[in-house]
Chain A
Amino acid sequence: MIDFTFTEEQEMFRKAAREFAEIQVAPKVAEMEETGEVCDEVVKALGEAEMMALTIPEEYGGLGLGYTARLIALEEISKVSVGTAMMLQVFALGIEPIIKFGTEEQKKKYLPALAKGKRLASTAVTEATGGSDPTGIRTSYRKEGNDYILNGRKCFITNSHIADTITTLAKDDENPKAFSTFILEKGMEGFKPTHKEHKLGMRGCNTGELAIENCRVPAKNLVGGEGKGMRVALGAIGDVGRGGMVGCALGLQAACLEASVTFANERILYGKPISNLQAIQNKLAQMKIDLEAGRLLGYRAAAIQDKGGRSSNEFAVAKYFTTEAAQKAAKMALDIHGGYGCMEEYAVSRYLRDSFVLGPSAGTSDIMKVIIARWVLS
């Protein structure tokens, strides 16, 4: 028997996340848009509201709530600020390799502080030469005694300048087919954030470069064993990365629809609200159809993930559908708002900019189709 309803507890999670976003995040959105910088108060509030603890097991100071609860939280936060949801989604992406593949020592060392938001996480895979195809990366490591020496440059890294704990993929200097994942920590000699990006959207969510120059990393920071790095990185990106983007996209879809309904009921044309016009109703109906379909895809994938199943393909479908739908929804929302939609004081202009950042994050739509086609053909 399939039950498509949320439990009473899940509805309460949604309420908690919504209240958090409306009370703690919404007042800071204008500032984040204006400056493009991370708002420290929002990051602190995320920690206090236990948002970083959702997927971390209880024995390491987390809540152990799993991925459906995470998707609910991301959707609600994204309704208010896609940038904040993106920041939170990548915290989890940085944490996941430690949860799934970390040693007991690593879990005890890192997870409790990450759960409280006292330390912030990220993951660093993408480089100029490889992102969706991580085999193309050039960041390398070589063993020297009990340590590893890393060299390279990572780009388009979310939370690059604020993260304390960054799970980083590197290639064996001597064997280009071997990859390993290391935990790099802020302040390590030879490791620093450099250039900050100025993105089209998701302002207030930090993205930038990481420079790694002869950075000495102790062997105890190796995650999942030497040569197992690709499994570690892709294991996190496939499920948690794509799943997080689905949460961000669903929130944006819902925000576009809500703003459009409000505006269409208020804007009078030909003596009536424009919501009476069939052309507008058509757009609203399409947005609703896409939102409902996206939710079914996303929450189904999260349910599989919660049961311990492999959900990366299901999330590829959901990621493709929801991020494409979010772009369409933002365009339709802007169209419904007419000239007002082009004005910064209306949130829909932000929605449109944010929607274009959703697609490339955690793999473009074209890459999702490549993955889905492989799944179909396998």
Chain B
Amino acid sequence: MMKIVVCVKAVPDPQQACNIRIDPVTKTLMRCEVPLVLNPLDKNAMQAALDLKEQFDAHITALSMGPPDAEGIVRECLALGADQGILLSDRAFAGADAYATAYTLATAIAKIGPVHVIFCGMASSDGSTEWVGPEIASFLDLPVVTMVEEIVECRSLQWKVKASLAHGYRLMQVQLPAVFTVTRELNTPRALVFSGIIKARKKSIVRWGIDDLGVPAEAVGLKGSPTIVSKLTTTQSKREVNILTGTREEKATQLLQKLVDSGVV
């Protein structure tokens, strides 16, 4: 049986982005003010696992770290078709940066036991570091392919995947077990259906805290986070309108000069 872990994150609803605020003192997101939803790219990660389950005998574990409220998104993964849900929730985990988050998730994956595939969304819509997937791989000493946009071959333990680059793509051959971070190009996430929600009634969500993972308090949460947010500023975008006058040729010359002056050309 193919064992799959999908790492999912509860993020403030991107549709209410205008209401998301940052605490000026702690320099962290004020998460309580906006409802939490499943990170959009994690839906693609879930769908990748579900697509595999349709082809092979597979078991999907949805794994998340977050406050107790994050249980809702784990339940949503169960409704989408995951077999098991695990929520890592403990006050000691609070304030974790990408490094501490990846460490905690990797420790949980190690506790789950041997797995073949670990899927993560390429990035979260709130932090957007793109580091958690690769760092999980690093902690577990597994190969990782980031920005996977197509699983080309997956019939053996030797997978072939297509991963995007800024101006092209990489065709990678990877030996399982491995970590894959996925892009939205990989698939179209399936919508929740009522029967899936009903089936999720019978599926359990396990909650693990720091004692269950057996990790030192200094290695997780804020204490285990090397990232220091030293300063936060808001960006301002300004527009200036200049009306060019003169003949067509004169206006073209003026425009060209302005583009040169501004460093565009």
Contact = CB atoms under 8 A, between A and B. Distances in A.
Given A8-B75, A9-B201, A53 B191 contact: no
Interface stretch (A14-22, A101-109, A288-296, A323-331): A14-22
B14 to A, nearest CB: 14
Contacts of B72: 8, 11
B192 A15 contact: yes
B188 to A, nearest CB: 10
Contacts of B34: none
B191 A16 contact: yes
B244 interface: no
A365 to B, nearest CB: 32
B236 interface: no
Interface string A1-35: 00000001101110110011001000000000000
Given A8-B72, A8-B75, A12-B79, A19 B194 contact: no
Nearest to A19: B191
Taking chain B's interface residues, is the majority helix, strand, or loop, or is none over half, making it mixed? Answer: helix
B194 A13 contact: yes
A63 B194 contact: yes
A49 B76 CA distance: 16
B58 interface: no
B198 interface: yes
Interface in B191-216: 191-195, 197-198, 201
Contacts of B75: 8, 12
Nearest to A10: B197
Contacts of A19: 191-192
Contacts of B201: 9
A374 B76 CA distance: 46
A69 B194 CA distance: 10
A366 interface: no
Contacts of B79: 12
Nearest to B197: A12
Interface residues of B, number: 12
Contacts of A63: 194-195, 198
Contacts of A8: 72, 75
Contacts of A69: 194
A54 B193 CA distance: 11
Given A12-B75, A12-B76, A12-B79, A49 B197 contact: no
A65 interface: yes
A95 to B, nearest CB: 16
Interface string B237-264: 0000000000000000000000000000
Interface string A317-344: 0000000000000000000000000000
A63 B193 CA distance: 11
B195 A20 contact: no
B198 A49 contact: no
Nearest to B201: A9
B195 A12 contact: no
Nearest to A73: B194
Contacts of A50: 193-195
Nearest to A65: B194
Given A9-B201, A12-B76, A54 B192 contact: no
B166 to A, nearest CB: 30
A23 B192 CA distance: 12
A315 B193 CA distance: 27
Contact of B194 (A11, A16, A23): A16
Interface string A54-89: 100000000101000100000000000000000000
Contacts of A12: 75-76, 79, 192, 197
B77 to A, nearest CB: 11
A53 B195 CA distance: 10
A54 B195 CA distance: 9
Contact of A9 (B191, B193, B197): B197
Interface of B: 72, 75-76, 79, 191-195, 197-198, 201
Given A13-B197, A63-B195, 9 more contacts: A8-B72, A12-B76, A15-B76, A15-B192, A16-B193, A16-B194, A19-B191, A50-B194, A69-B194
Interface of A: 8-9, 11-13, 15-16, 19-20, 23, 49-50, 53-54, 63, 65, 69
State the 6 A-B residue pairs at the shortest beta-carbon distance, nearest first: A16-B192, A19-B191, A50-B194, A12-B197, A63-B194, A50-B193
10 contacts: A8-B72, A8-B75, A9-B197, A12-B75, A16-B191, A23-B191, A50-B193, A50-B195, A63-B195, A65-B194
